[in-house]
Structure 1
Amino acid sequence: MDNYSNNSNSSFTERFSTALRDLPNALGQVFNLQRNVHELKTLKKTTKIMMTIMLLATWASFILGKDFGFSGWIGVITGTSVVLNLILVDQGRLTNYSWGVLGCVVWLIIAINNRLIGDIASQSFYLIMQFVGLSVWHREITQADQEEVSSRKLTWREGIFWFLATFIIYFIVLFFSKHLNGVQIYLDATLLPLGIVGQVLMTYGYRSQWIAWITLDVINVIIWFNQLQVVSPASTSMFVLQIIMLINAIYGAYLWFKPSDQ
């Protein structure tokens, strides 16, 4: 992906306000069936192969897990939605948000059933940010007159700010998780801060988002492996999904960090 041009120095607040005004138009494009089909059809060959493997793994885990109850179906719907969302994010495609909204809703249901306080908070935040993100991406893509959002670099000051913000939010979530009798609280409490950082950086096209996502996915693999041991709701599908997400995050980082033709 190309590096984002450095001539855009508008503040987050200004871009956020403009994005909200553009929300109706953005929603129309994100949930446009023709655009969704087009953006999936025009993915790179390597990305299509990744998508196929990830979808097959998601459905295979569902079938082999033999959890055909409500939680099992919710799990496989979550997995399918997340896979399509992530694949489209990898290439900076706007319609990733149509699948992102669906994925957040069904994942939130699973997190509630598993009493994962950090995950519940994370998915609630992600759901809100889907609408912010789709507005910002729609504006960026429209202004640049291209099909994909481009990546930009964080300054060292911005990097330090988000690093410190991650730790501050972590201890806040940890405090509430202890008082709400959450599960795996020390690991679970990392999900919201990493998710906030990753989602905000993704919304504004920063490639450093992938550092947050890879870290978060590694922790999620551990969390859902532990949940799998106690046979919690949709644990098989969700564990496989975490592995898929980790592999995808590595692939996404490659696409966003690889040298551009300048």
Structure 2
Amino acid sequence: MKDWTLFEKLWLTSFTLINIYLFFAWDDTLLGLISSITGMLCVVLVAKGKMSNYYFGMIQTSTYAYISYTYGLYGEAMLNGLFYFPIQFIGLYMWNKHKVKDDVIGEDVEVKRLTKKGWITVITISIVASLIYAELLSLINAQQVRIDSMAVVLSIIAQFLMIKRYAEQWIMWIVVNALSVVLWVVTLTQSGGNDWSMLVMWIAFLFNSVFGYYNWIKMSKGQQLSEVK
């Protein structure tokens, strides 16, 4: 971990210890602990532009899909089981095709930026798809339909931006993670569930998405300077 900053090490260690504490203090589930910790490892590695994030993502998406299903969050379950899990393999392949040069230290992948036209397309698709998916979730009696549908749609769009290596993916992730924090607070309160590590995981994701956006912008500028040289 030579290229890890002190902040990154402290951030990861702090949230890992919080999850372990919750596991014992609140009688949390082992599956929830595994999902939370692997999820945090995954997003931190994404923020650093490391391809190894996908290996942890495979574990996190499969376990989180099952947990979401048990709470009736069918949108989250379908998103992770049917989309996130298989796309980990696609993302690993795509990132491997676009590695940075050896003289760029600390990241594995080239970073791109979204144009104004790209933003208009992203926002339009987000609004239309969220409305349609909310109707679908209502038909199957899912819980927290509006928040769930918006979080799912924005997650899919953010995942595509991630695979295509756009720094703006992190703006989408910030919104998604904030919605997911609200979603799990409401769900755990209403259901009386004890998977509070899921909430901690999403709070950690929210902090990481802010850091990820900052870091990818810095990576983009650094790679541009490297190309000039």
TM-score by length of 2: 0.89
Measure the CA separation in 2 of the matches of 1:234 and 1:128: 28
**Structure 1 position 186, deviation (Å):** 0.8
8 Å CA contact 1:75–1:110 kept in 2: the answer is yes
Deviation at 1:210, TM superposition (A): 0.6
In structure 2, C-alpha distance between the alignment counterparts of 1:192 and 1:161, rounded to whole Å:
17
> Where does structure 1 lack aligned partners over 5 or more consecutive residues?
1-39
Work out the CA distance in 2 between the residues paired with 1:121 and 1:162: 21
Structure 1 residue corresponding to 2:76, chosen from 96, 119, 122: 119
Partners of 1:179 and 1:214 lie apart in 2 by 28
1:187 and 2:144 correspond: no
| Contact kept? 2:147, 2:183, Cα under 8 Å | yes
1:48-80 Cα deviation digits (max 9, x unpaired):
22111121122222222123xxxx111100001
Q: Please name the residue that 1:223 is paired with.
A: 183
TM-score for the superposition, normalised by structure 1: 0.78
Displacement of 1:118 after TM fit? 1.6
Question: Offset at 1:228?
Answer: 2.0
The 5 A counterparts of 1:1-262 are 40=1, 42-67=3-28, 72-123=29-80, 124-141=82-99, 144-145=101-102, 147-258=107-218, 260-261=221-222, 262=225
- For the 8 Å contact 1:59–1:76, the answer to whether it is kept is yes
> How far does residue 41 in structure 1 lie from its aligned partner after superposition?
5.6
Runs of at least 5 residues in structure 2 that lack an aligned partner in the other structure: none
Contact 2:75 2:148 in 1 (8 A): yes
Judge conservation of contact 1:122–1:191 (CA < 8 Å) in 2. Answer: no
Note if contact 2:158-2:170 (Cα within 8 Å) is conserved in structure 1: yes
Aligned in 2, Cα 1:231/1:63: closer, same or farther, shift over 3 Å?
farther
Give the residue type in structure 1 aligned to 2:207: I
Q: How many residues align?
A: 218
Query: Could you say what the CA RMSD is over the residues aligned between the two structures, in angstroms?
Result: 1.7
Amino acid at match of 2:50: R
Q: Tell me the distance in 2 between the aligned counterparts of 1:60 and 1:138.
A: 37
Give 1:135's aligned amino acid.
Y
- Paired letter, 2:162: M
DSSP-derived class of the 1:189 partner:
helix
**Identity over the aligned pairs, expressed in percent?**
27
Residue 128 of structure 1: how far off its partner (Å): 1.9
CA distance in 2, matches of 1:232, 1:104: 23
Question: What is the identity, as a one-letter code, of the residue corresponding to 1:136?
Answer: M
Distance 1:76 1:165 in 2: 34
Map of 1:6 onto structure 2:
none
Distance, in Å, in 2 between the alignment partners of 1:226 and 1:206 is 32
- 2: CA distance between counterparts of 1:179 and 1:75? 28
